A and B are shown apart, each in its own frame.
Chain A
Amino acid sequence: MAQPQKSASSLPSLGRDVCEDFLINEARLLDDGLFDEWLALFTEEARYWVPSEPDQESPFDTVSLMYDDRRLLETRVRRLASPRIYSQEPRSRTSRMVTNVTIEDASDDGTLVRSKFVMVEFRRNEQRLFAGTYFHRLVSTQSGIRIASKRVNLLNCDAPLDGLVVPF
């Protein structure tokens, strides 16, 4: 999951419009707090990654704001539903916009989709603004489009930040 590079490929990819619709729906699930439904968008072997450094090459030799395999992502989502998740009492409200969607690459591994996002988070009298770039590796399955990997490059990933609890 290094910084994805654009490469020539002759394999058919998912269409840009289909991918954009998928991303808009994903953002909506997150804004609506439907985290189980969000989790269901990921494949069984998916990774979800929010690096701690710009251009971070690996999640294994450098710390990450979030780096989850399926087991950890399920744990993260289950915690979000806990009535005792004090860092979400009160709950965050979020509003996301996903734009500038482009198809970067297509291969047997799926279609690599790049997009820009802005997420505003409001919680307990404070509003925080997050922005950055998403890289989704999307695959077609019998049950629809699924996320094989998602990388979130936060503009301020190395700033001093209060806790990040709601996924990007």
Chain B
Amino acid sequence: MQVQSAQDLSRLVQPARVHRSLYTDPAIFELELERIFGTAWIYVGHESQVRDSGDYFCTQIGRKPLIIVRDAEGKLRALHNQCAHRGAMVVASDKGKTDEFQCCYHGWTYHLDGRLKAVPLNHGYPGDFDTKNPKTSMLQVPRIASYRGFIFISQAPEGPSLEDFLGHMTTSFDDLVDRAPDGEVEVAGGVFRHAYNGNWKLYLENLCDAAHPWFTHRSSIDAAQQQKDDVYSDGSGEIAIRQMRQNGAPYSFWESQVGIWTYPNGHSYLGDYHDDSKLVAAMKDPVFRDYIAALEAKKGKEEARRILEVRRWNSNIYPNLSFMSQFQQLRVVHPIAVDRTVVHTYCFRLKGAPERMFQNTISFANIVNGTGSLVLTDDLEIYNRIGLGLLSEGAEWIEIGRGFQSDVPDEHGGRRGKNSTSEVYIRNMFDAWSAFMLPGRREDAQSRKAAVS
């Protein structure tokens, strides 16, 4: 199916269902790379990964290799990882520290901001060859900005600012950073990389899905609930077993106590899932008690209470980021092909918190987000099965209508589901999808927003 025209595309997203080709058509995937990943603010990393001048790390958006670097003046830059001469990828290490970038093919050497610094055999190039000409630079991505240390880039020279794009979701970043007694977090603890044979959209579509754990994660729920606690444990698996048991909360819990909030540009979060007492035993846990003491010492009792009362589970920033404050987890989605996705997952250390808190973060990551985890492996199976199921030419439409009639407005300009089992956050992502993908729609959405504000 070759879909190109706006009219064709607009027929594929309907109020409570979407066409299966959005997950299977390579032509639509290429358009998504161009119109969504090529223009939206895309999360690329955290400032703790590029603390000092010369620190850099490599990433990619879709298939495009990029370098994120702090230049000699301390400014963040995003460079296309491509030599201006013959096009070779210049930087091959995942991360590092350097004074300059040098291509290994003919030795073209660049400043940290991408400007050409030196070229061997300079005399051999045409008479009009000028190392000061911007065309001889490693090209910069037009926009890079960060919010409380979280770095995003946009390949569109113009558009809404990062803060406007994030909107009310800035409060989810605040929640994560405020939980650090020293008011700062850092990426630490390595990375998981996992891959599945399915579309990139499936990942965020699952992360606020409150109706699936009871089914999909049945094997780990049962195994954890039947596990005896009197066998030897070094304590590192404690958090994990609690979480697996918690996944077994009945539907009545999801329908009465948990909520789903959505905001413009496709963002959402699952809230009020569980407070800290369910997972870290609150005041009874000496590590958590030490943490609260550290938080109160730095921020005062009242502010510490306010911070810990925020109970957000996964916060999704469309189109490629999801993070969770309570256990300092973060996942970045990399679309590779229409039916191939790679996800990188990271942990954060709360500066000023007891080191044992970070051990809990690590063990939570191993079990919930790890490639060999008892939980995520069943989610990966779901993505793969959707990839396989959509090859069938059975159902033409995919249903995203749960809770469709019962969404309610939210006081911060969004919509929320009647309860957490609503698929409102998927519908909300497709609203954003339409705004990016359909020429004209975005301007409409922006003027609507301007009219409201």
**Interface residues of A, Cβ cutoff 8 Å to B:** 44-45, 47, 50, 52-53, 56, 59-72, 74-76, 78-79, 82, 84-87, 89, 158-165
Q: Which of A44, A45, A67, A164 contacts B371 (CB 8 A)?
A: A164
- Is B376 in contact with chain A by the CB < 8 A criterion? yes
Measured between beta carbons, the chain A residues less than 8 angstroms from B145 are none
Q: Could you tell me if A160 and B195 are in contact, using CB atoms closer than 8 angstroms?
A: yes
- Is B237 in contact with chain A by the CB < 8 A criterion? yes
Measured between beta carbons, the chain A residues less than 8 angstroms from B220 are 75, 79
Q: Could you tell me if B189 and A61 are in contact, using CB atoms closer than 8 angstroms?
A: yes
Interface residue count for B (Cβ, 8 Å)? 51
Q: Could you tell me if B233 and A70 are in contact, using CB atoms closer than 8 angstroms?
A: yes
- What is the chain A residue whose CB lies nearest that of B364? A63
- What is the chain A residue whose CB lies nearest that of B380? A163
Complex Cα distance, B318 from A75, in Å, reads 35
- Is B366 in contact with chain A by the CB < 8 A criterion? yes
- What is the chain A residue whose CB lies nearest that of B341? A160
Q: Could you tell me if A52 and B233 are in contact, using CB atoms closer than 8 angstroms?
A: no
- What is the chain B residue whose CB lies nearest that of A46? B232
Measured between beta carbons, the chain B residues less than 8 angstroms from A75 are 220, 223-224, 227, 237, 241, 244, 374
Q: Could you tell me if A87 and B362 are in contact, using CB atoms closer than 8 angstroms?
A: no
Chain B 210-248 interface mask (CB, 8 Å, partner A; 1/0)? 000000101110111011110111111100110010000
- Is B288 in contact with chain A by the CB < 8 A criterion? no
- Is B53 in contact with chain A by the CB < 8 A criterion? no
- Contact flag A78-B231 (CB < 8 Å), given A62-B189, A160-B195: no
Q: Which of A67, A79, A159, A161 contacts B366 (CB 8 A)?
A: A67
Measured between beta carbons, the chain B residues less than 8 angstroms from A45 are 232
Q: Which of A50, A60, A82, A85 contacts B372 (CB 8 A)?
A: A50
- Is B358 in contact with chain A by the CB < 8 A criterion? yes
Complex Cα distance, B198 from A162, in Å, reads 11
Complex Cα distance, B347 from A61, in Å, reads 10
- 16 pairs, CB–CB < 8 Å, chain A vs chain B: A60-B236, A63-B191, A64-B370, A67-B236, A71-B229, A71-B233, A71-B237, A72-B240, A75-B241, A78-B223, A78-B226, A86-B216, A158-B193, A162-B197, A163-B372, A163-B380
Q: B408: shortest Cβ distance to chain A, in Å?
A: 34
Q: Could you tell me if A160 and B223 are in contact, using CB atoms closer than 8 angstroms?
A: no
Q: A143: shortest Cβ distance to chain B, in Å?
A: 17
- What is the chain B residue whose CB lies nearest that of A78? B223
Q: Which of A63, A72, A163 contacts B365 (CB 8 A)?
A: A63
